[in-house]
Amino acid sequence: MNEQAKQFKFVGTRPIRPDGVDKVTGRAMYGADLTLPGMLEGKVVRSPHAHARIKSIDTSKAEALNGVKSVVTAADMPEAESKPVAAGEAMINFRDLAENVIARHKVFYEGQTVAAVAATSNEIAERAAALIEVEYEVLPHVIDVLDAMKDDAPVLHDHIFTGGVTPKPEKPSNVANRVEFALGDIDAGFAAADIVIERKFTTEPVHQAYIEPHAVVADMGPDGKADVWCSSQGHFMVRSFCAGLLKIEMSKIKVSAAEIGGGFGGKTTVYLEPLAIMLSRKAGRPVRMVMSREEIFRASGPTSGAAMTIKIGATKDGRITAGDATLCLQAGAFPGSPVGPAAMTAFAPYDLENVRVVGFDVVSNRPKVVAYRAPGAPISEYAVESVVDELASELGLDPIEFRAKNGAKEGTQAAYGVKFGTIGMQETLEAAKATEHYKIPLGPNQGRGVATGFWFNIGGESCAGIRINEDGSVSLTEGSPDIGGSRASMAIMAAEVLGIDVAKIKPSVVDTDATGYHFVTGGSRVTFATGMAVVDASKAAIDELRARAAKIWDVDVDGVVWEDGHAKPASTNVGDFEPMSLAEIAAIANKTGGPISGHADINAKGAGPGFGTHICDVEVDPDTGFVTVLRYTAVQDVGRAIHPSYVEGQLQGGAAQGIGWALNEAYMYDEDGKLENAGFLDYRVPVASDLPMIDTILVEIPNPTHPFGVRGVGEVPIIPPLAAVNNAVAAATGVRFTALPLSPPAILAGTGAGD
């Protein structure tokens, strides 16, 4: 059955989300909302230094404090083995993960965990944390990525020798890895160009800045079984990492997914969870840990800052002949920046014969980066899209037409090697060009910028269960933490396949004991992959419903079809039977073989690549350098919008985050390597008064591998805004800026108005 060819009854509609009422009434339970009897509060002791050797840790005074029930240091944790694991975006080493959870011999950034304590109240826990005495030998530190690459830079890790180069280096280095992707002959490509533009760019690290702090409640009993409740993008990830770090069998750790108050990639790893389990194990009581906002900024996230060189050549008639990029990305304290995806996506929106991208993964004394929405892509595509825009401008070509002329199509070989299947890059450009927005005349000091973005999207492991209840209602179970309304999409897809009203289906994200392994909610994969599992599980349930109808009618199961929520005879030859509804079959399930259900456990393949094109209008105040975003339109190929409101929401939210990245957000360090702006007052995410309405256009080029044509949509929309804003500012000021954020002082420095 080809689902894509059918007219849909529920797919594409906008029902109220099943978890909605709980979320507008304050009933929804997030990470910090659980209280257990006898629960202790846990606090973390963090490094005040950017780089130091830990000489000793004395916990005796803390342990002697009345009300303190347990203290944990690295000495309590098993030694972790060195092995690569997938952690959200890139591979990271398990030993590094262990050290990031709690430092063993050295601290590599200000804010790194050194010890943790649990006590009967927050206040006592805080006093106890202050009583833990750590003696440090402070070491020279390095913050900036280019400084960290210098020969005389302080080396963070003696065991890191630059990978990806031959011969293997003899000296340890902060450059953990080199990647390279190349196609064709770039020298010949540049020789054929009439115009070549080369520019150097920088971007600053930015934080995912989910509003809900990391939070966990862990309860480990004397039988060695642990119950963990936490806010994460993957409770199976939490189980797997905690089991590995603490050397506990997975079956002994049950993780329940609290409602999650935003993640954006930042909750695809563990920080507090293993500590909470250890504190609970030692105290014999449940322990809650919640990060403060300051701790979130200093010790979790962010994504990489970067230094990049981009060179692109084109002919007079607007054909790009070659692209060359060098990307240096900060990994933070341990290897594993998103330099791989940054390099692969840099030129991916274009059909180019000659490309080379070289990337470096560089450690420095900052918190270890973690995934942030399309990790790496906003960074590299910002730089490329800024040069593409400048080329169009120099050649006197419309920026959308220039992109269309060079844009990827079905069959285009991307710079990272793979040939694209069905994609919607050209369609998003056409839709953007056709908007009213693109035609609105601009006033003085105003400018319009356009940019495109590409992201792979991924599949991965997901499971789903459909249980047909005795009254004909349906319980749907899966294990992908729902950040932005995915339970609504799961219910819609199940309703569409089963042919019953969406309100009859109750979707739940169940704990790690109740379903199979799920990869994290990340990579824009949930509606695609978990959705695919839901469709398969629904079909399995239908097969069972058909079998039951066949038994009731005493016919062969092949003689029964499923249509509009009813079992029907396939033809008059089968017999003259009244169709039986799902509820009618369910009501007598006990007589036909017992409860009816369908299950699917899959590793989804064939995620469809996503493309978006954004248009941004800005006005730049010539006196203050302040940039106001006047209008914004986000166009994206979404494959198929299951619940269009939440798809639009992804585009709008991604655009807002990208605008923040472009205009406001940055990590700022002092000379001692300490973060100076660890709070929302000084790290300014966009507020309501900073933004205009964000118009969306959903282009639907169905992904042929998904039953409903779904492509991931969550990550693409954060990619184009950086360059769209940058290009708009260039149009408004006549200056091509090459560093983010475009803060008022930076604008004034660039336009010369601040002199």
Residues numbered 358 to 377 that lie near other proteins (CB under 8 A) are 358, 371-375
Tokens of 529: 């992959």
In three-state secondary structure terms, 313 is strand
Cβ neighbours of residue 299 closer than 8 Å, sequence gap 6 or more = 46, 109, 111, 112, 113, 271, 291, 367
Name which position in 132, 260, 379, 392 contacts other proteins (CB under 8 A).
260
Helix (H/G/I), strand (E/B), else coil: 657 = helix
DSSP code string of 79-91: PPP--EEEETTEE
Cβ neighbors of 637 (< 8 A, separation 6 or more) are 423, 424, 425, 427, 428, 610, 611, 612, 699, 700, 701, 711
Smallest separation, CB 172 to other proteins (Å) = 18
Calpha distance 290→685 (Å, rounded): 21
The Cα 269–Cα 508 span in angstroms is 22
Interaction of residue 219 with other proteins, rule CB under 8 A: no
Report d(CA 66, CA 315) in Å as an integer.
Answer: 76
Which listed residue (169, 575, 593, 679) binds other proteins by CB under 8 A? 679
Amino acid sitting at position 34: L
**Which of 605, 668, 670, 734 touches other proteins (CB under 8 A)?**
605
Residue 506 binds other proteins, judged by CB under 8 A: no
456 binds other proteins (CB under 8 A): yes
Count CB-CB contacts under 10 A for residue 19: 18
Q: Does 483 bind other proteins (CB under 8 A)?
A: yes
Can you name the residues that pair with 106 across neighbouring β-strands? 53
CA 717 – CA 703 distance, rounded (Å) = 18
Which stretch in 52-60, 219-227, 496-504, 674-682 sits in contact with other proteins by CB under 8 A? 674-682
Least CB distance from residue 632 to other proteins, whole Å?
9
Residue 88 engages other proteins in binding (rule: CB under 8 A): yes
- In total, the chain counts a number of residues equal to 755
Q: Which amino acid is at 703?
A: N
Tell me if 292 contacts other proteins by CB under 8 A.
yes
Strand partners, 40: 287
Residue 563 sits in the site that holds other proteins (CB under 8 A): no
| Nearest-angstrom CA–CA distance, 640 and 621 | 40
- Residue 204: CB minimum distance to other proteins, A: 17
Q: How far apart are CA 135 and CA 55, in angstroms?
A: 5
Residue 221 engages other proteins in binding (rule: CB under 8 A): no
- The CB-of-94 to other proteins minimum distance in angstroms stands at 12
State the nearest-atom distance from the C-beta of 358 to other proteins, in Å: 8
User: Considering the rule CB under 8 A, would residue 28 count as an interface residue with other proteins?
Assistant: yes
CB of 697 to other proteins, least distance (A): 14
Q: From the list 109, 210, 236, 667, which residue makes contact with other proteins (rule: CB under 8 A)?
A: 210
| CB nearer to other proteins: pick between 46 and 548 | 46
List, in order, residues 6 or more apart from 555 with CB less than 8 Å away: 569, 574, 575, 577
Q: Is 664 in the site for other proteins (CB under 8 A)?
A: no
Instruction: Give the tokens for residue 533.
Output: 């599992």
* Span 121-180, contacts to other proteins by CB under 8 A: 122-123, 163-166, 178-180
* Binds other proteins (CB under 8 A): choice among 86, 139, 514, 540: 86
**By CB under 8 A, is residue 649 in contact with other proteins?**
yes
Q: Per CB under 8 A, does 572 bind other proteins?
A: no
Q: Which stretch binds other proteins (CB under 8 A): 69-77, 107-115, 305-313, 413-421?
A: 413-421
Strand-pairing partners, residue 361, are 177, 329
569 versus 721: smaller Cβ distance to other proteins: 721
191 binds other proteins (CB under 8 A): no
Pairing of strands 175-183, 355-363: antiparallel
Write the interaction track for other proteins spanning residues 508-547; mark x where CB under 8 A is met and - where it is not.
------------x-xxxx----------------------
| CB of 264 vs other proteins, minimal distance in Å | 6
Stretch in the footprint of other proteins (CB under 8 A) among 260-268, 545-553, 578-586, 731-739: 260-268
Q: Does 595 bind other proteins (CB under 8 A)?
A: no
46 lies in the site for other proteins, by CB under 8 A:
no
Instruction: Give the nearer residue to other proteins in terms of CB position, either 133 or 601.
Output: 601
**Scanning residues 705 to 744, which ones bind other proteins (CB under 8 A)?**
705, 712, 715
For residue 330, what are the β-bridge partners? 362
The enclosing H or E element of 331 equals strand 320-332
One of 341, 479, 516, 741 touching other proteins (CB under 8 A): 341
Is residue 356 a contact residue for other proteins (CB under 8 A)?
Answer: yes
Cβ within 8 Å of residue 603, ≥6 positions away: 459, 460, 461
Q: What is the smallest separation between the CB atom of 352 and other proteins, expressed in angstroms?
A: 15
DSSP conformation letters of 601-652: EEEE--PPPEEEEEEEEEEE-TTT--EEEEEEEEEEE-S--SSHHHHHHHHH
For residue 410, the minimal CB distance to other proteins (Å) is: 9
Stretch that binds other proteins, among 68-76, 288-296, 509-517, 570-578 (CB under 8 A): 288-296
Q: What are phi and psi of 98, to 5 degrees?
A: -60, -45
The smaller minimum CB distance to other proteins, of residues 212 and 544, is found at 212
CB of 454 to other proteins, least distance (A): 12
- Provide the minimum distance between the beta carbon of 274 and other proteins in the complex, in angstroms, as a whole number: 21
Cβ contact 642:619 at 8 Å: no
Provide CB contacts within 8 A for 567, sequence distance 6+. 545, 546, 548, 549, 560, 561, 579, 580, 585
- The number of residues that bind other proteins (CB under 8 A) is 113
CB of 114 to other proteins, least distance (A): 22
Name the residue nearer to other proteins (CB basis): 16 or 75.
Answer: 16
Q: Which residue, 214 or 566, has its beta carbon nearer to other proteins?
A: 214
Is residue 603 part of the contact set for other proteins (CB under 8 A)? yes
> Is residue 33 at the binding interface for other proteins, with CB under 8 A as the rule?
yes
Phi first, then psi, for residue 166 (nearest 5°) are -125, 140
397 lies in the binding site for other proteins (CB under 8 A):
no
CB of 649 to other proteins, least distance (A): 5
Is 36 a binding residue for other proteins by CB under 8 A? The answer is no
- Residue 115 touching other proteins (CB under 8 A): no
262 near other proteins, judged by CB under 8 A: yes
What is the rounded CA–CA span in Å between residue 613 and residue 404? Answer: 11
CA distance 349 to 404: 10
| Binding of other proteins by 201 (CB under 8 A) | no
Q: Is 626 in the site for other proteins (CB under 8 A)?
A: no
Provide the pairing of β-strand 474-478 with 505-509.
parallel
Is residue 265 involved in binding other proteins (CB under 8 A)? yes
Minimum gap (Å) between residue 459 Cβ and other proteins: 8
Judged by beta carbon, residue 646 or residue 737, the one nearer other proteins is 646
Q: Which 8-state DSSP code applies to residue 341?
A: H
Angle at the Cα of 455 from the Cα atoms of 449 and 460, rounded to 5 degrees: 160
Nearer to other proteins, 544 or 619 (CB): 619
Helix (H) or strand (E) holding 586: helix 582-587
Cis peptide before 222 (omega within 30 of 0): no
